[in-house]
Amino acid sequence: MYNTNIINDGCEGKAALTTDMLRQLLSEHYPTLKNERWNVDVDTIRTSPILHPLLRRKLPVGIEKFTCVLFTQQTESFGEPLIVYFLLDEKGESIYAMDLLLEQQDTH
């Protein structure tokens, strides 16, 4: 797992792909958030019985490992920081799901 500020640091690999997707998502659907500061955490996770059911439903059947990329808002414009997550295949090449949620709803 690693953590990077996407505004100040260049991202590589899986984080770079989803950083571009995050910027596009914010520009198109949440323009007031596009200038916010975001941290990114990337981790490969093994599917297990303790995986939250909400996440399990978003993954294809039979997946053993997947990559989760979390973008956490640094500034708290809305009280709680917002979190945008992307669920990718283990190599970070295919996206299974993405969603925007509040920190208290974090299921990862």
Q: Which of 89, 1, 92, 93 is nearest to 39 (CA)?
A: 1
- Greatest alpha-carbon pair distance for the chain in Å reads 39
Position with higher pLDDT, 11 vs 41:
41
pLDDT band at residue 8, thresholds of 50, 70 and 90? very low
Average confidence (pLDDT) over 22-48: 86
pLDDT at 66 over 90: yes
Domains of the chain plus CATH, in order, are: 14-105 (3.10.450)
Q: What is the pTM of this model?
A: 0.72
Q: For the chain, give the mean pLDDT.
A: 77
pLDDT at 100 over 90: no
Distances (CA, A) of 95 to 15, 17, 70, 88, 92: 12, 10, 13, 4, 7
What is the DSSP code (8-state) at residue 75? Answer: S
CA–CA gap between residue 44 and residue 101 (Å, rounded):
20
pLDDT value for 87: 92
pLDDT at 3 over 50: no
* Percentage with pLDDT > 70 across the chain: 75
